[in-house]
Structure 1
Amino acid sequence: MTAPEPVLGRRALGRALLARQHLLARTDRTATATIHHLGGLQAQAAPQPPYLGLLARLDGFTPERLSTLIEQRAAVRIALQRGTIHLVTAEDCLTLRPLLQPVLDQGLRTTYGKRLTGLDLDALAAEARELVEEQPRTFQQLGALLAATRPDRDPAALAQAARCLLPLVQVPPRGLWGRGGPAAHTTAESWLGRTLDPAPAVEDLVLRYLAAFGPATAADLKKWSGLGGLAPVVRRLAPRLLTFRDEQGRVLYDLPQAPRPEEDTPAPVRLVAPFDNLLLSHADRTRVLPEEYRARVMTQNGIVLGTLLVDGLVAGSWQLTAEQEVVLRPFTALRRADRQAAEAEAERVLAFAAERGDRGGDGGHGDRDGGRGRNGGGTVRFEAVE
């Protein structure tokens, strides 16, 4: 008789996730190693999220460490998981893009399919490649050039078709801390001087996901990647994996040697970056995001706010503003120790931002309760609980 799989509750799953995300304890790993381990960091909003995501996880991290990787072409920004822009290592760009190409194809069909009916996509891709390899171009520029030979077509749809058909990377200064610039694109092959992996293994994608986000279901893996048809792959790998059940009876898969801390393991207060994959990589997000707070951090227009973690769970949101201010918005009253820890984390963000004079976010908000701290001219402010 086969023994039943052990059951992992939400707190246990949350602690396992935080341990693998380096959010239980920061690490001294390199930025490159961390980006690889995480399978990239979502980077659709430039430049803050990847930098703040690494800051939450790494000891001694400075903006230059990531900006240098981007400038030296060791890390790139490209459409990958869920069709969104991610910052990944150069090696992962070449491997992950062909694996996730079906996600881009599906997104193009869903959003622009009718506007591309009858179009010779091979010819479009060849022309677009020539244009962006001649010099990096924004989508507005690329769409206009492609429409010059296709005057009956929508320039925006043509540019998005090129985004899908070609592995387009965003070139610096886009994504550099404290600088920034338009999202201009060229091909990964041209930028990196290497070809895409001709035979990437989807099994490796599954194992890497579990290393950074497990224990997880096949549905979780699809939520993270956007890629369908992975359940058979997971089943093929099952002899190499451990299996558990969650409290709803769903089968969870995991790597035998991956960390699974006890559910009462202390979890420090952390400020998680906007758009962080911590919140976007599971079908059931309640291991870190209570359902009652989901709408308060994931807005209807697709914005995912920075989040305040207390005892391993989202307990508020936060923002680094253009006025060098960190605004903390707890969703419930915090204990004194947690409030002090949140302020210390915010001061750490301000010190980080001051190193390159970044002017941060999208503006400040009125002071509601006057709770303040200071660091190098920056301000930490708590907004009153709503």
Structure 2
Amino acid sequence: MTEPSPVLGRRALGRALLARQHLLARTDLAPAALLHHLGGLQAQAAPQPPYLGLLSRLDGFTPDGLSTLLEQRAAVRIALQRGTIHLVTAEDCRTLRPLLQPVLDQVLTTTYGKRLAGLDLAALAAEARTLVEAEPRTFQQLGALLAAGRPDRDPAALAQAARCLLPLVQVPPRGLWGRTGPAAHTTAEAWLGRPFDPAPAAAPDALVLRYLAAFGPASAADLRKWSGLGGLAPVLKRLTPRLLTFRDERGRLLYDLPEAPRPDPDTPAPVRLVAPFDNLLLSHADRGRVLPEEYKERVMTVNGLVAGTLLVDGLVAGTWRLTGAAEVVVQPFGRLARAEREAAEAEARRVLAFAGGGGEGADGAVRIEEAG
């Protein structure tokens, strides 16, 4: 008779997630190595979130640690998980985009299908490739050029079709810390100087195992939430002999790597400032392991914005924002204990020092707006 799967409560799941995200203890990994471990960082807002995401997890991290990767083409910004812009290593760009192409195909069909009905998409993709490889283009520029020969079509839909059909990367200075630039695109092949095979190099098994390493224990629904891909339950079933299985408090089946950390639920969790749009909050169907349901609407807006969050004892307990490089404003949802407030201030000063807007002794640079 098969033994029932052990039950993991929310606190246990939260501690496991924080350990794998290097939010229980910071790491000295190289930025590229951490990017790879995390499967990239969501980067739809430029440039701060990926930098702040690495800062919360890395010791000794400076802006140049990521900007240099982008300038040297060792990391890129490209549409991947959930069809959103992620900052990933160049090698992950090559391996993840083919695996996640069905997500972009779905976006193309559901969001732009009616506006593209009857269009020769292969011809559109070929023309778009020629245009962006001649010189990087913004979507506004690309849409106008594609619409010149298709005057009855919506330029914005044409540009978004190219985004879904081609592996388009955003080129610097977009995404560089302390610099601005339009979201101009070229193909991954042109930017990285290597052929790009549109067919997945392998089955999605490796993708599933990487997700569990960074976000497990998790369910098939969690995996879909993170990736946007459907049909991965059979992959988990196939991998089951290599995995451990658990149940959450609601009886849902969870999968995990045997060697992955699962700390004691009572392991202390330090106060942390988590970046806006961080995948910590976006990669599970049930976010309750870190985000209490009552706070969800205070963190995530209906139009898709995700605030930077304050973690206290492993759970979201407030929001925060960096105002330019001059001030960090922390807004707890309730009153903080003295030690928690001091830790939040220390984390905020760390952000300020990173951003060049202050540091130890900077008057007025950190503001804690505690609830009354």
What TM-score range do you get, normalising by the shorter chain? over 0.9
Instruction: Work out whether residues 147 and 155 of structure 2, in 8 Å CA contact, stay in contact via their aligned partners in 1.
Output: yes
> CA separation in 2, counterparts of 1:87 and 1:384?
33
Instruction: Work out whether residues 274 and 306 of structure 1, in 8 Å CA contact, stay in contact via their aligned partners in 2.
Output: yes
Q: Which residue of 1 aligns with 2:47?
A: 47
1:98-154 deviation digits (Å, cap 9, x = unpaired): 100010111111111100000000000000000000000000000000000111100
1:9 matched to 2:9? The reply is yes
Aligned-residue offset at 1:374 = 6.1
Instruction: Work out whether residues 42 and 87 of structure 1, in 8 Å CA contact, stay in contact via their aligned partners in 2.
Output: yes
4+ runs of 1 displaced by more than 3 Å? 373-378
What is the one-letter code of the residue matched to 1:285? R
> CA separation in 2, counterparts of 1:375 and 1:220?
43
Match of 2:258 among 253, 256, 259: 256
Q: Residue 182 of structure 2: SS of its match in structure 1? A: coil
> CA separation in 2, counterparts of 1:31 and 1:72?
14
What is the one-letter code of the residue matched to 2:366? V
> CA separation in 1, counterparts of 2:161 and 2:248?
40
Q: Residue 277 of structure 1: SS of its match in structure 2? A: coil
> CA separation in 2, counterparts of 1:202 and 1:226?
13
> CA separation in 1, counterparts of 2:284 and 2:169?
26
1:262-302 deviation digits (Å, cap 9, x = unpaired): 00000000000000000000000000000000000001111
Aligned-residue offset at 1:381 = 0.2
> CA separation in 1, counterparts of 2:219 and 2:143?
40
Aligned-residue offset at 1:2 = 1.4
1:20-74 deviation digits (Å, cap 9, x = unpaired): 0000000000000000000000000000000000000000000001000000000
Aligned-residue offset at 1:322 = 2.2
Instruction: Work out whether residues 26 and 58 of structure 1, in 8 Å CA contact, stay in contact via their aligned partners in 2.
Output: yes
1:168 matched to 2:180? The reply is no
Alignment gaps of 5+ in structure 2: none
1:104 matched to 2:78? The reply is no
Q: Which residue of 2 aligns with 1:380?
A: 366
Q: Which residue of 1 aligns with 2:126?
A: 126
Q: Which residue of 2 aligns with 1:351?
A: 353
Alignment RMSD (CA, Å): 1.3
Q: Which residue of 2 aligns with 1:18?
A: 18
Q: Map 1:220-369 onto structure 2 (within 5 A).
A: 220-322=222-324, 324-354=326-356
> CA separation in 2, counterparts of 1:143 and 1:12?
48
Q: Which residue of 2 aligns with 1:158?
A: 158
> CA separation in 1, counterparts of 2:302 and 2:121?
33
| Residues 110 and 378 of structure 1, relative CA distance in 2, 3 Å threshold | farther
Q: Which residue of 2 aligns with 1:370?
A: none
Instruction: Work out whether residues 7 and 247 of structure 1, in 8 Å CA contact, stay in contact via their aligned partners in 2.
Output: yes
What is the one-letter code of the residue matched to 1:335? A
> CA separation in 2, counterparts of 1:258 and 1:175?
32
Deviates more, 1:373-382 or 1:30-39: 373-382
1:312-358 deviation digits (Å, cap 9, x = unpaired): 0000000001261100000010000000000000000000000xx79
Instruction: Work out whether residues 374 and 380 of structure 1, in 8 Å CA contact, stay in contact via their aligned partners in 2.
Output: no
> CA separation in 2, counterparts of 1:114 and 1:100?
23
Instruction: Work out whether residues 336 and 370 of structure 2, in 8 Å CA contact, stay in contact via their aligned partners in 1.
Output: no
What is the one-letter code of the residue matched to 1:206? V
Q: Which residue of 1 aligns with 2:57?
A: 57
> What is the TM-score with the length of structure 1 in the denominator?
0.94
Q: Residue 279 of structure 1: SS of its match in structure 2? A: coil
Aligned-residue offset at 1:196 = 2.7
> CA separation in 2, counterparts of 1:77 and 1:384?
36
Aligned-residue offset at 1:376 = 4.9
Q: Residue 94 of structure 2: SS of its match in structure 1? A: helix
Instruction: Work out whether residues 272 and 307 of structure 1, in 8 Å CA contact, stay in contact via their aligned partners in 2.
Output: yes
Instruction: Work out whether residues 334 and 370 of structure 2, in 8 Å CA contact, stay in contact via their aligned partners in 1.
Output: no
> CA separation in 1, counterparts of 2:166 and 2:92?
16
Aligned-residue offset at 1:201 = 2.6
Q: Which residue of 1 aligns with 2:205?
A: 203
Instruction: Work out whether residues 325 and 352 of structure 2, in 8 Å CA contact, stay in contact via their aligned partners in 1.
Output: no
> CA separation in 2, counterparts of 1:244 and 1:148?
56
Q: Residue 160 of structure 1: SS of its match in structure 2? A: helix
Instruction: Work out whether residues 125 and 165 of structure 1, in 8 Å CA contact, stay in contact via their aligned partners in 2.
Output: yes
1:181-222 deviation digits (Å, cap 9, x = unpaired): 100000000000112344233000000000000000000000
- The number of equivalent residue pairs is 370
Q: Map 1:178-193 onto structure 2 (within 5 A).
A: 178-193=178-193
What is the one-letter code of the residue matched to 2:21? Q
Q: Residue 126 of structure 2: SS of its match in structure 1? A: helix
Instruction: Work out whether residues 351 and 375 of structure 1, in 8 Å CA contact, stay in contact via their aligned partners in 2.
Output: no
Q: Residue 317 of structure 1: SS of its match in structure 2? A: strand
| Residues 154 and 298 of structure 1, relative CA distance in 2, 3 Å threshold | same
Instruction: Work out whether residues 174 and 182 of structure 1, in 8 Å CA contact, stay in contact via their aligned partners in 2.
Output: yes
